[in-house]
């Protein structure tokens, strides 16, 4: 039997768009054509392949089966302009930007956690925020087992979440610092090299003192887990790491969940790897997970400050599982569940 192949568009060719091409090839996605769309026409070399980039116009979506919009953290605009137009032209949109995540008619999906949300889709699917994905890869299966009442998240987010300019800025600041030169800050409001910035995103007037990134974690968690009552408090911090986000999670459950039971649940969860041996200095770190597919979980212990509490430490590659890989996985699951052809026949 010949496997059906699909025409896949990638909208945007920055850090996430580039990774989308790599992930499609690495996972052997059944691709007939990869069509790259961006603001300007040009040629781009990605992982040894040369792609002719076409301008993003409504007509250039014609003939595609999927369009993967490659926004970075907080990215807006492209899917607002072209997303629903692409759907009208028969294309399934998977959007990594944050424009439509909380739209009630748009599924917000982590394939390992809530693939059933794809059933009955209307042609437009949202990829969650990178920090939400990395947290919920651990929190999702534990919530199923013991029910989460609340959690406190402190994130340690790499500069790649902001895009190529931030990666280049950190690298230049490190070089300038070592050379004894002044460090210029352009992408961020302050120097990021050898520093941490407790602000990711803009201030939210409806939640004084919180940033947009912190509010996303609360709202997206509730939607993905289908649990409006979960209480979430997040502090999102930018750190001088190139790739991979890490997070400290303090969780209160509805019932007692021992560290041993949590380790057993997580060890059986696809896409999760337990690395948890404090005596041997074994725990998740950005250098371990960068460039990889799994979210690592460790430092699993009781939180004695609250009844039925646990503390976890998680790390995952924000450009891969936190963005490109999750988007491609959504497309894979849609094919597996027969949701592509059935939608096109409507």
341 by Cβ neighbours in 10 Å (0-12 / 13-18 / 19+) ranks as exposed
Task: Based on the residue annotation, tell me whether 130 is a catalytic residue of this protein.
Answer: yes
- CA pair distance 332, 240, nearest whole angstrom: 33
Burial class (CB in 10 A: 0-12, 13-18, 19+), 169: buried
* Residue 217 neighbours by CB distance under 10 Å: 25
Q: Is the Cβ–Cβ distance between 231 and 150 less than 8 Å?
A: yes
Q: Which of 121, 130, 183, 236 is catalytic?
A: 130
CB 181 within 8 A of CB 173: no
Q: Which of 121, 143, 236, 245 is catalytic?
A: 245
Host H or E run for residue 43: strand 42-46
Q: Is 183 a catalytic residue?
A: no
Triad 314, 315, 321: Cα angle to 5°: 115
| Region of residue 123 (left: phi > 0; alpha: psi -120 to 50; beta: else) | left
SS3 state at 172: helix
Residues catalogued as catalytic? 130, 245
């Amino acid at each position: 039997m010949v496997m059906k192949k699909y025409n896949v568009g990638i909208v945007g060719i920055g850090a996430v768009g580039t990774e989308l091409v790599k992930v499609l090839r690495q996972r052997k996605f059944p691709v007939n054509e990869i069509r790259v769309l961006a603001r300007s026409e040009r040629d781009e070399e990605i992982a040894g392949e040369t792609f002719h980039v076409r301008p993003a116009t409504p007509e250039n979506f014609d003939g595609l089966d999927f369009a993967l919009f490659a926004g970075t953290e907080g990215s807006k605009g492209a899917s607002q302009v072209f997303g629903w137009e692409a759907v009208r032209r028969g294309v399934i949109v998977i959007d990594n930007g944050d424009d439509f995540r909380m739209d009630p008619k748009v599924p917000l999906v982590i394939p390992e956690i809530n693939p059933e949300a794809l059933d009955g889709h209307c042609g437009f699917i949202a990829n969650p925020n990178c920090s939400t994905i990395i947290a919920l890869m651990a929190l999702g299966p534990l919530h199923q087992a013991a029910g989460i009442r609340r959690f406190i998240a402190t994130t340690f987010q790499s500069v790649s979440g902001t895009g190529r300019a931030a990666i280049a800025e950190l690298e230049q600041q490190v070089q300038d610092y070592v050379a004894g030169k002044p460090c210029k800050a352009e992408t961020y409001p302050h120097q990021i090299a050898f520093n941490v910035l407790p602000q990711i995103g803009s201030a939210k007037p409806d939640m004084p003192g919180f940033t947009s990134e912190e509010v996303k974690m609360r709202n997206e968690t509730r939607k993905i887990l289908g649990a409006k009552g979960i209480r979430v408090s997040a502090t999102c911090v930018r750190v001088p790491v190139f790739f991979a986000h890490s997070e400290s999670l303090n969780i209160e459950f509805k019932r007692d969940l021992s560290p041993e039971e949590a380790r057993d649940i997580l060890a059986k969860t696809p896409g999760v790897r337990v690395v948890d041996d404090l005596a041997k200095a074994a725990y998740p770190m950005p250098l371990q997970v960068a460039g990889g597919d799994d979210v690592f979980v460790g430092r699993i212990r009781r939180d004695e400050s609250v009844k039925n509490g646990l503390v976890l430490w998680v790390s995952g590659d924000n450009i891969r599982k936190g963005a490109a890989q999750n988007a491609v996985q959504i497309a894979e699951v849609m094919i597996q569940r027969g949701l592509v052809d059935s939608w096109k026949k409507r």
